[in-house]
Every structure is written in structure tokens, then in C-alpha cells.
Structure 1
């Protein structure tokens, strides 16, 4: 059984091993490690202008600072899950945490754009090892009703990490400097590395074959896609520097599909994409993450570059946005059960589109408190509802034994969606990021508004009408 399938496996009471007295301490430490990973998706956004000034980074490099991490995190996550099965979850978690902690130190010490990106890539690799192994430990350490409680705490870490990231990014950048958004991971990582072996039991690994070619192909394909999208901001959509990477991405995805079909132990069971709930959930997760991370990226650069806000004030502006996302997710989890997945998804995407419209048309003449913040809050409220709908649709509307596989697919789309969203808006806002022109940012927000509106229409056709029945906690990280 894979680490994801463990999340949905139910033992009878007589099958369960005796409860480990150290399990809640273990959960605390594991959640602390996972919190760092989620934090690092958003913590860098507020620090971007200071990084650009210190290291003389252009728009392209700045974009890769965000996307390199989420690309490696998402692209290699399924391989990380397989490694947890093959080598043991505890061993894989500790290896991932060691890589992530060392990479955080190296990223903070970076004195060039190349070193910074190298550190971010290594952080992503560490995160891809750590996160699925951590979830595997949670699901095998807890049993019965306790497992649902533990998975609920695990899920809450995601929202809290994103919110804390923008505020902590502002505090650290304004205070000791942008390097500390990475240095802060080092003592936490070392603490967990020392304490965790004493509270997590070693379980013998299960035999598992590793699909390394599949992992490399899907990561390379997504990397080529993002490269092409970012390059379009400089070379235009018809330039060879844009078209060649996009064509390479299509070829690599095609080869990936062929390798997966031929493999006896594929990284991703492509038959999952014949399941409508999985396709719908993956689509919603991709769009919701793309929009939210794009907002953090665009807003951080706009507020500091154009409006002259400090990193600290920028972080404070984003706190209501994070709160609105959490509130939207809370209400979304209720409306999904009452009104069904399709209604909740379409409504959430429509609200996201309506919230983004003022940012596209009135940003130039409006204030931060009268246009930008209300627009972000309304849009992120809708996005929060879409997040919950994505997970519940994919996991609760398919057969129980397939929920683990669906979880892996949706989590991959979660990380990759952030990379694609930032790449698209970076290109749309090229003039704004490079020269501080407001028109660049309004164009990017218009792209977001149109994307949300088109996604609402797509959800109308794609998302099933039923009401999902959740049998356990959320399985997204």
C-alpha cells in the first residue's frame, strides 16, 4: 500500500496496533516541518524586491525564485512518495528535512542569482521527499477517529503556513534582511532532525519500484512549459525562445504518458484521468493555486515597487487576504455538502473573477485600501471555496480504494499550479515589474480575471453535480 492509500485505509479495531504514546509529540514535530515547506511558497514573495536590488536580479530570475521551488516540490512529490515506500517513511522524511535545511542555509548565503536559484531547487527537492513521507507517518501512526483529527490538523497547517509566510516575510525582510526568510528554517530544521528519531518508530519499508524516468520527464516538461511562459514576456508569444520550450514541453509530456503506460509500476496511473471527479478536482486545484500565488507575487512587487510600501506593511496588507482564503475554505466545506461540488466551484470561481475585475480596471486611480485590498479579499474568499471543492471532489466522489492515488495527483497539481500562475502573470506584467508601469500590473490582473471567469464556465461543464461524502480528513498537504 502506498503512503497515500494509507490515508484512506481503515482497519478494524482488532487489527490496529497499540497506540504509540509518543504520537502527538511526533505529529507536532512533523507539522512543524510541513509548516516550513508551506511557508516557503509565500515567504519569498514579500522579499522579492529586496532580493532583486541586492543581487541585481531581472524579472526572469525573480520569477524563477518563486517557481523553481514549487516546480521541484510538485514535480518530484510522487517520486518522494515512492521513496517513502521503498526506503521507509522515517528515513525519507529525515533525508528530505536534511536537504531542505541545508538548502535553506545555502539560499540565504547566496550572493548571485544562480546560487539563489540553485538553493531554491534544492529546497524543492527536499520538500518533495519530506512532505509525502510526513503524511505517510501521520496516516500510519494514528488510527480510527484519531486519524481524522490528525489529518484535520495537518490540513490546517497549509492555510496557516501561507498566511504566516507573507507576514513573516515582511518582518524578516524589514528587520535583519531578506536572507533571514531562509535562515529561519535552519534552527527549526535542526531541532526537528534531532528530536524526530526519538518519537517516530522505524517501520520496515515495503518493496516498491521507483519510476525515476517518469519523475524526471514530468518535471522537465513542466520546467520547459514555465520557461516558455516566462520567456514570452521578453521575446513575445511568437518568438523561437518562447515557442521552442513550449513545443519541448508538449513532447516531454507525450513521452511521459508513453513511459507511464508502458511501466509496470508507473509514477502516476494515467487511468485516473478517465475519472471525471479526479480531472475536475485537479483542474480546480491548478487554477485556484495559480490565482492565489499569482496574487501574492503581483501584489508584493506592485505594493513595494510602485506604491513604495515597506516589506512589513506589504505583509500586513496580505493578512486579510490569507484570512479571507481560510474563511472561504471553511464556508466552502459546508456548501459543498449542502449544494454540491458544481455549484460551490462555479460560485467560488465567479466570486474570484468579480474580485479581480477592479484590480484590472481601477488600480491606476484607486488606493491600496479602496481597490487593491478589497479586490484581493473578495477574490481570495472565492478561491478558498474552490480549494475545498477541488479536494473533496477528487477524493470523495471516487471509489474508496482510489482515493490515495487521486490525492497524489491533486497535490501535484497544487504545487505545479503555483509555478504556472506566477509564470503567466510575470509575463503579462513584464512592463510593470521591469519599469514600474501600472499598466503592466493591470494587464496581469485582467488575465487573472478572465482566467477565473473562463474557469467558472469550464467548472459548469466539468465538475460533477453530486454532493461528496467525506470519509476522512482532508488529504491535501
Structure 2
């Protein structure tokens, strides 16, 4: 795929920004032991070290996409990177667990202004017939970050100190900010008015929903601390849906969800990331708690899954341009479900690593097939001038899925096992992976709603130049 200079810069910088943001979603999982030791953190504080990032991330994703349309996507992307970089330094300097949690929340807020705009700028830089391969390359880099996060966290925790997990973001972030401002052209959405009421309703709704999900494992699903925020979140999201039907310039045109490909891809992506985050959260701990290895070795054991992501994702994206997204989304989720189900069947403290290795490779292939297919299906389902809004929606669904997966699989784990012994952890892990397999299969069913091969609309069918289609 020959790229012009502008496309190369957009591809490189959007992928680099996404890599750094995605890395931090799971990088702390193998360093939690070191953080507990150094900061005297409780188990609940360790959980919040992971969840605080995902909470603010999921809560503000749609806001980030909307502000990019209003104030300029390059400008808001750079601002998000600046917040993320400063918050990373605050994490590294945190003197106690409470400060670390607050800084992780600030990291997530900055990340929410980066990911949807990186995907928007990338999608806008390529014509529809070449977008799949571009998104495939982008997904490969993003997937690599997700898979190597636990390894890198374990390596740093076992080496210099866990603080360097965050210090490494500072120079990379500063360089990326400068290059984004110098090498990417500014562009805005087709209508620069901001739907303030919609923004407040959706932010509050997602906050309530995610906060309730995060609290449920420790308080119980029937406790008011979980039920009240979840119920409030659902009510606010319902009010948001009513408001968006009336809004002159809605944040999310509800007609998007009448498009079968858009809705199916978002539901399937939700299921994929729910099980992906849930699996890595527990598998990294399974290696340490049930099998007694250190954080570095636990990270190394997860590393083989990165190969398929880097190789298969670009190929899947390119082939999706020719034969459609459905076959890759369905097949990828089925492979992922088989991986989780097999882990559930064989999990035990004495499980040989060679029995896990092929599953990581097969599962990595499944994730690498499904991720770019979902992203391409969503952005291809809407007019080019509304790609920014569509990107915000699928990114929100992905990270809501991540919080949902860690929470639901965590509940299954807590009711069937625990941290009492290697065997009890293994029992809970097996049950959680079985639950993950069911969620992944549900995602595969949803993916059947995607169309087969999509014909590319001729130029005459695209919005006119006056619609301010983004350029990069």
C-alpha cells in the first residue's frame, strides 16, 4: 500500500499515540505486587489502580470525540496527549496508593481524548477502498500494546522499579505532541456546534454505569453502592437517547443504530474486549498465584500472543476490503471463544506452559482478525463526515466492554474460587474463562449481523466537498 507523506505521518503518529494509551490499560497488572509492597496498598486499592484508568477513559470517550469535532481534532489529540503525559509523571511520583489512583484517573481522562481522534484522523486520511488495510495496521499496533502490556509491566517491576512503567511515557508523549502539531493538518467536524446537554447526559450516564460495575464485585450486585449508580447511569443514558432525538446537532445520531453493520460491529466489539481484558487480568495472575512464577516470567508467558496480532491484523484488514468484515469478525470471535473454553477445561496449578502456548497463538489470531474488521465495519457504515462520531462510539463500546469483562469475570471468579491457595485460584480462573467463552460466543452471534462483501460507493455517492470531509 503506497502512502503519500501525509498518510505516512498520520499512520505513524496515530498508531504511536494509540500504542502508548493502550499499553497503559493493562501494563500494571503484573506490577501490582510491587506496588502493593512499596505503597502498602490494600486489595481494593490495587483494583482501583486498574479500574480508575478505565473508568475515566470510558466515561469521557464520546466527549473527546465531540470536542475534537468542535475545536479541531489535531488540537484536542495533542491536548489529550499532554494530559496523559503529565498524569504519567504524577503516577511515577505518587507517594501513596490514593495519589496513584487519582493520577491513574487523570491518565484515563487524557487517553479518552486521544484514542477516538487517532482513529478518526486515520480513517479520514484513506479512501474507503484502502481504509481496511490502514485500520488493520493500526489495530496490529494497538493489539500489540494490549498484549505486551503485562510483559512490560512485569519486566520493569522485576528490573528498575514499577515507577518506570509511567516514566517511559513522558519522553514518548512529549515527542509525539510536537510531531502531531507539526505534521498533521488541523480539521474539524462538519458542524462545530457542541451538544452540551447531550455531553453532560452521556458523561454522567457512562460514569454511573461504569462506577456501579466497578463497585459490584466488592459490594455485591444487590448492594445499593452498586445498584444506585448503575440505575442512575441507565436513566441518564435513556434521557440522553430522548434528547438526541431532539437535538439539532446530536453527539450520536441515533440513526446510526438503525444500521445493521454499525450495531452488530459495536456489540461484537463489546464482547471481544470484555473477554480480552478479563482474560489478561486473570491469566497474568494465574501464572503468579497458581503457578508461583514472578512478574517477569508471567509477562514472558503472555508474549507469544503478540506475533499473530502483528501479522494477522494487517492481513485481515486488507482482505476485509475485498471480502467483507463478517467472515473475519465471526471467525475471530469463535477462535477466541475456543481459546477461553479450552483454558477453562485444562486450568490447574500444575498445567504445563506448553499446553497454554498454542492457545495464546490461536487466540491472538482470533483477536487480530476481529478487531480491524469491527473498526472498519463501523466507520464504513456512516458517511465520511461522521466518522469522528462513529469512532467515538466504537471506542466507548470497547472500553465499556473491558470494564464489564473484568467485573463480570471477577464476580464469577470470586464466587467459585479465590486467593486462598493455588487450587482455589485455579478453580475461580477456570470458571471465569468459561464465562468469558460464553460472552465471546454471544459476540460471534452478534457479528452475523454484519453484511458480507461491501461494495465501495462511487465518488458521486459521497458527501460533497462543502460537507467539510476531514483531510489529513
TM-score range normalised by the length of the shorter chain: 0.7 to 0.9
Match status 1:239 vs 2:223 = yes
TM alignment of 1:152-191, pairs within 5 A: 153-191=137-175
Distance 1:436 1:321, change over 3 A: farther
Matching residue of 1:4? none
1:100 has 2:74 as partner: no
Q: Which moved more, 1:241-250 or 1:92-101?
A: 241-250
Match of 1:46, SS state, is: coil
Match of 1:320 in 2: 304
Query: Tell me, what secondary structure is at the counterpart of 2:248?
Result: coil
Q: Give me the TM-score of the superposition, normalised by structure 1.
A: 0.82
Residues 281, 394 of structure 1: 8 Å contact kept:
yes
Aligned to 2:351: 367
Q: What displacement does 1:39 show?
A: 1.5
> Per the alignment, do residues 396 and 197 of structure 1 end up closer, same or farther by CA in structure 2, a change over 3 Å counting?
closer
Displacement of 1:182 in angstroms is: 0.8
The residue aligned with 1:225 is 209
CA deviation profile, 1:385-428 (whole Å, cap 9, x unmatched): 33244234434466667655433322221222112211222333
| Most deviating of 278-287 and 27-36 | 27-36
Instruction: Find the aligned partners of 2:85 and 2:191 in 1 and give their Cα distance.
Output: 28
Q: 1:112 aligns with which of 96, 103, 122?
A: 96
Give 1:91 deviation, angstroms.
Answer: 2.2
Measured on the aligned residues, the alpha-carbon RMSD in Å equals: 3.6
Select which of 247, 252, 264 maps to 1:280. 264
**More displaced 10-residue stretch of structure 1: 424-433 or 392-401:** 392-401
Give yes or no for contact 1:340–1:466 (8 Å, CA) kept in 2. Answer: yes
Task: Quote the Cα distance in structure 1 between the aligned partners of 2:188 and 2:390.
Answer: 25
Is 1:452 aligned to residue 437 of structure 2? Answer: yes
- Superposed CA offset, 1:134-169 (max 9, x none): 445556667799977765543432123223423322
Residue equivalent to 2:278:
294
Partner residue, 1:3: none
Aligned residues: 455
Residues 447 and 270 of structure 1: CA distance in aligned 2, closer, same or farther (over 3 Å): farther
Q: CA deviation at 1:293?
A: 1.3
Greater mean alpha carbon deviation, residues 166-175 or residues 363-372? 363-372
Segments of 5+ residues of structure 2 without an aligned counterpart are 458-472
Distance apart, 1:439 and its partner CA: 3.1
| 2:344/2:431 contact within 8 Å kept | yes
Shift of 1:351: 2.7
Please report the TM-score for the alignment, with normalisation by the length of structure 2.
Answer: 0.82
SS in 1 for 2:30: helix
2:105 pairs, out of 121, 125, 138, with 121
Q: Matched residues in 2 for 1:146 and 1:343: separation? A: 18
Q: Which runs of 5+ in 1 are unaligned?
A: 1-18, 473-477
Work out whether 1:34 is the aligned partner of 2:56.
Answer: no
Q: Does 1:464 align with 2:449?
A: yes
- Does the Cα contact within 8 Å between 2:62 and 2:392 map onto a contact in 1? yes
* 1:429 match: secondary structure: helix
Task: Verify the 8 A CA contact 1:286 1:417 in the aligned structure 2.
Answer: yes
Give the Cα separation in 1 of the matches to 2:126 and 2:369: 28
> 1:199 matched to which residue of 2?
183
- The answer on 1:45 being equivalent to 2:29 is yes
- Structure 2 distance, partners of 1:129, 1:461, is 28
- What displacement does 1:125 show? 1.5
Displacement, 1:56? 3.1
Q: Is the 8 A contact 2:323 2:454 kept in 1?
A: no
Kept in 1: contact 2:191–2:249 (CA 8 A): no
* Superposed CA offset, 1:294-315 (max 9, x none): 1111112222233222222112
Cα offset for 1:52?
A: 2.7
